[in-house]
Structure 1
Amino acid sequence: MSCESTIIEATTKKTAISVSGLGKCYQLYDKPIHRMVQSLIGSRWRLYREFWALRGIDFEVRHGETLGIIGRNGAGKSTLLQLIAGTLKATEGKVATNGRIAALLELGSGFNPDFTGRQNVYLNASILGLARAEIDARIGDILAYADIGDFVDQPIRNYSTGMVMRLAFAVVAHVDADILIVDEALAVGDAFFMQKCMRFLRDFRKRGTMLFVSHDGGAVTSLCDRAIWLEHGRIQRIGDARMVMEAYMEASLIERQGGVGTRGDAKVRLQPEKKERRINLRQELIDRSVLRNDMLVFPFRPDVEGFGEHKARVTHVAFCDGAGQPVAVVLAGEQVTLEIELVAEHDIDNVIVGFYIKDRLGQLLLGDNTVLSDEGDFGVSAGESFRARFCFEMPRLSAADYFITVGVAEGTQEHHVIQHWLHEALRFTAMGGGYATGLVGVPMHDVSLERVADEL
């Protein structure tokens, strides 16, 4: 309790954040009057109970590293970020940082609800270290990034939570931070702005240091190099993000199952000789149950964010049925065709058309291109229209929003130049699909369970 907390500049250029012996204790009183009495009697008697939100926290974060922080509610994640950001004073230990810190902590922190969005941009950016002249030079880009329209000149008390998050993230994205702290702030954003945020975070990883708190395991393993698992204010495990997340999920499952869950070495049997495929009723049973996995497809958006040299451009994207007609609903397990229509603005010796399906966090789930579709080059002339078709079985997907990125390039697989790339050309929403496991559920043609005689 007597140890002072300090936030100092790290002495080594290789370390962005150094945390040593960090702890935060709160005094809990049974009655409000006890707090006043305690201030009068000093330390002669103690009318409170100590609650250590964090204690004994030690770790370092290197420059350019992304560290995830996971744990259940109340584990101390937000407290740790506030201590590192300097918005909360520690009870013991110290934090050393090297570089400008920008933090997205509690929604709306750093904003005055009575100020307009524009005024709050100046307020928040100045708190994060920008001079007035620097803010003046960037205000246009910040407001364009937030994209909240005329609400920018209205008090933010009139904003939705998503609009507040847009404005806060837009400021953070334009302050040239060396260290970025994100505390579950993206959970309230709409799907399209979430994609924009995830692209920024992935780009920021290449040049800065990031602390990322999330309950989304996919986001942590996708974005983070390492992770810390906090439990009851102490570090339970620290290491590779995937391994820490797996340990955390395993512990959570064991707890939900009443503490039953031990690992054992399973005996591996050789698979029997492959039999002729039987008639599969499984998919039909799934499609007639609550496990049915429908995908609602939204119309193509030609105005979505994109880039390229535009010698060719994408004009339309759609899922089509067997007759080539666009469909608004597709079903997991059925054969679908993704059709991409394009037009050439200039002569191109060889075009490559491709697509990705990605989730709301920007993680790539699957994709392909036309490199292996034909022998030789596929050239197009100026003004010529052409299309690419990709036929595949629609995978099972957990209920969420998904996006299809499409692109056309000139050149070869190894050396090409993007001509038109649309980040979220098509959006679809998966519904149901409670049976899907992992990021993508592969539709099974046959699943069987049979008894085999023990080998002598």
Structure 2
Amino acid sequence: MSKSYPLYERPSDRLKQLLFGRWRRFYRPHVALEGVDLEVRQGQTVGVIGRNGAGKSTLLKLLCGKLQPSSGRVEIQGRVAALLELGTGFNPEFTGRENVYLNAAIFGLTRPEIDARFAKIAAFAELGDFIERPVKTYSSGMMMRLAFSVVVHVDADILVIDESLAVGDIFFVQKCMRFLRAFSQRGTLLLVSHSIPTIASLCDQVLFLDHGRMRMFGDAKTVCEAYSASRWTDLPEDEARGLRAAAARKPVSEQDASAPVVAPSNGSARTVENRTTVLDSAQRFGVGGAKLVSVDLRVDGRVSNWCEGGERVELEVAARLETAVDRPVVGFYIKDRRGQNLFGENTFETGCQTGATVGATVRARFVFTMPVLPVDEYLFDVAVGTGTQDRPLILAWYRDVLKLSSRAKSPHRGLVGIAMESVELEVDPSGPAIMR
């Protein structure tokens, strides 16, 4: 399906189009979506990602019936509940109570059904006396509470949510996340978000939209990583061109390689040995200007690809620059099976601001205590870049370069566990009464 809008240069062009549109077009068509072919099966949780203006909200409005496609068709089976722009379906002059009845009726509930569920809706929203006040007095967070609470209680088969979780306090957001995880076990969920960790943790499939077109649709890990890669390879093009031009002026072999630039650590950095080869499946992206030489992973002083948690880990990354860089930065991430970044670090804050010339070898050494990871396999990403934390320029990002297996013997708590210095429990039979 596709969706386009007419853009008029002048207000008078609308009248001209109405009168003379049969013979001439007085507008410029703007294509918001083009050629989107998507099938979402019952019980799937699908995320939609993309930059601002990619067509994400337009797609959800088409799926909800709030817009009609310019071409193609939308087929939906089941009751749909949508949470799009905050305030959609609400009358600002009505009280929260009145808007609950209005919004729930729009979703197809009868008056007796709303009466029976109102107490639960009000309790979920936690608005207190504000439920009896006009919605125009609500903050954006309060508006989200009320809208989400209605959606929770309409018994929808398909739930469509667009960025609404970006507002609200952390406690209510967590309550919403618990509901979404429970709903995903029985219903169909479509979620738009700029939060890649949220998409990766909730969704089975992800649609990546780019300028109104489907760039990729597939499993969450693959698509989320492709989207993250595009953020570094697509922008900023002006800086990327400058780096490519600098690298192309003279081949590396014709340059004098400077001394290695080593990020400072506790003591002098040791020579990098190519003890751990990059996995054949590793993927590289970036604007160019650096190549990975070696990655050395040691667990308690030994070259290893497994850990139990609590060990002293040394990760050493070496890369060769193909362009001059004012301030090289090296970093890494450890990811779980779903592609969620568990933790990572980079050398930006180390104070190493030495420039590096073409052909220089950049080495970074990270030493840390490995947390307790659930028994599974994990992957490392490493990257070489420049710039700042707010405006980085990725020269080369290598995805899935190393695999690490966790053989943790103790049960874990959460995505990442930490070693407790001590855990104590005392029982005082004569103590105070239990708090209720």
TM-score range, shorter chain: 0.5 to 0.7
Equivalent position amino acid for 2:204 in 1: D
Contact 1:355–1:369 (CA under 8 A) maintained in structure 2: no
Structure 1 unmatched ranges of 5 or more: 1-21, 278-285, 293-332, 335-353, 358-363, 387-419, 423-456
Q: Secondary structure at the match of 1:222?
A: helix
> What per-residue deviation string (whole Å, max 9, x for no partner) do you get for residues 197-223 of structure 1?
111111111110000000001000000
Q: Secondary structure at the match of 1:115?
A: coil
Aligned to 1:39: 18
Among 61, 65, 87, the alignment partner of 1:86 is 65
Q: Secondary structure at the match of 1:181?
A: strand
Structure 2 unmatched ranges of 5 or more: 241-285, 303-311, 313-344, 352-367, 370-410
Cα 1:98–1:36 change in 2 (3 A) is same
Aligned to 1:430: none
What percent of counterpart residues are identical? 48
**1:140 corresponds to 2:166:** no
Cα 1:70–1:263 change in 2 (3 A) is farther
State the TM-score, normalized to the length of structure 1.
Answer: 0.57
Cα 1:120–1:235 change in 2 (3 A) is same
Task: Supply the distance in 2 between the matched residues of 1:213 and 1:291 (Cα, whole angstroms).
Answer: 36
Q: Secondary structure at the match of 1:62?
A: coil
Runs (4+) of structure 1 exceeding 4 A deviation are 262-273, 289-292, 354-357, 367-370
**1:261 corresponds to 2:240:** no
Equivalent position amino acid for 2:48 in 1: I
Among 301, 306, 331, the alignment partner of 1:274 is 301
Contact 1:65–1:225 (CA under 8 A) maintained in structure 2: yes
Aligned to 1:188: 167
Q: Secondary structure at the match of 2:3?
A: strand
Cα 1:148–1:37 change in 2 (3 A) is same
Shift in Å, 1:37: 1.8
Equivalent position amino acid for 2:196 in 1: G
Task: Supply the distance in 2 between the matched residues of 1:262 and 1:177 (Cα, whole angstroms).
Answer: 48
Among 170, 179, 183, the alignment partner of 2:158 is 179
Equivalent position amino acid for 1:200 in 2: F
Cα 1:224–1:40 change in 2 (3 A) is same
Q: Secondary structure at the match of 1:89?
A: coil
Aligned to 1:314: none
Shift in Å, 1:59: 1.3
Aligned to 1:30: 9
Task: Supply the distance in 2 between the matched residues of 1:46 and 1:384 (Cα, whole angstroms).
Answer: 87
Cα 1:109–1:252 change in 2 (3 A) is same
**1:127 corresponds to 2:153:** no
Equivalent position amino acid for 1:132 in 2: R
Among 60, 73, 78, the alignment partner of 1:99 is 78
Alignment of 1:393-412 (within 5 A): none
Equivalent position amino acid for 1:215 in 2: H
Cα 1:271–1:44 change in 2 (3 A) is closer
Q: Secondary structure at the match of 1:75?
A: coil
Cα 1:181–1:188 change in 2 (3 A) is same
Among 238, 241, 245, the alignment partner of 2:224 is 245
Q: Secondary structure at the match of 2:25?
A: coil
Equivalent position amino acid for 2:9 in 1: D
Among 187, 190, 197, the alignment partner of 1:218 is 197
Aligned to 1:341: none
Normalized per residue, the structure richer in strand is: 1
Among 14, 30, 33, the alignment partner of 1:54 is 33
Q: Secondary structure at the match of 2:75?
A: strand
RMSD: 3.6
Shift in Å, 1:261: 3.0
